[in-house]
Amino acid sequence: MAVNSFANIDYTVPAVTAMTQLATGTVSGTSTTLGSISQSYKHLYLVLQSVQLSSATDLAVRPNNDTSANYANVYMQVGSSTVAARTTDTLIYLNSGGTPAAPATANNDTATLYIQNYTAGKAKNIQVSYLSGTTKASGTYGFYNHINNAAITSLVLCTNSGSATWSVGTYTLYGVN
């Protein structure tokens, strides 16, 4: 008869993931570029807070200012049964290119972007989330594939319209190990 043994279980607490602030500032104009990103980390984590635009539109990011149709995504909309996918985007929508649009009024909206293995010479897995501060039932969550083998050295914060300007908002970029 076999006896269960717990003698080989490792009870060591895993190390806490270290996050280091790489850049912080205020977004302004039609775009803000976070350049010369250190290649010393495993992942990148970007947080945008209290973003306000000159007109309601979509928040977006372009790694290395890549404007080719190298982005594919799947996203879900909070508060509805909407699940959608696109395979030929030319940017990463932080609010998934749909509802809700980033507001043109003061708010408490938060958008996040998490890029795994950003220095690797292969396609990147990217997670995005957007939460509207106006209602708990307004936001999106999605996944992107960035089909580009270059290491990410910059992020351009922009809008899909190209003409809306950032009037309020802050960003913080972290390197994650």
What does the longest C-alpha to C-alpha distance in the chain come to?
74
Q: How confident is the model at residue 52 (pLDDT cuts 50, 70, 90)?
A: confident
Instruction: Judge whether 33 lies within some domain.
Output: yes
What is the residue range of 34's domain? 19-176
pLDDT in tens, 148-158: 999 999 999 98
- Distant-in-sequence, close-in-space partners of 60: CB < 8 Å, separation ≥ 6: 91, 92, 93, 94, 157, 158, 159, 160
What pLDDT score was predicted for residue 9? Answer: 53
Contact 34, 155 (CB under 8 A): yes
Looking at the chain, the whole-number percentage of residues with pLDDT higher than 70 is 77
What pLDDT score was predicted for residue 54? Answer: 77
* Residue linked to tokens 């006896």: 3
What pLDDT score was predicted for residue 51? Answer: 80
What is the average per-residue pLDDT within 154-167? Answer: 83
CATH number for 114: 2.60.120
Give the angle subtended at the CA of 168 by the CAs of 157 and 140, to the nearest 5°.
60
- Split into its structural domains, the chain has a count of 1
What pLDDT score was predicted for residue 1? Answer: 46
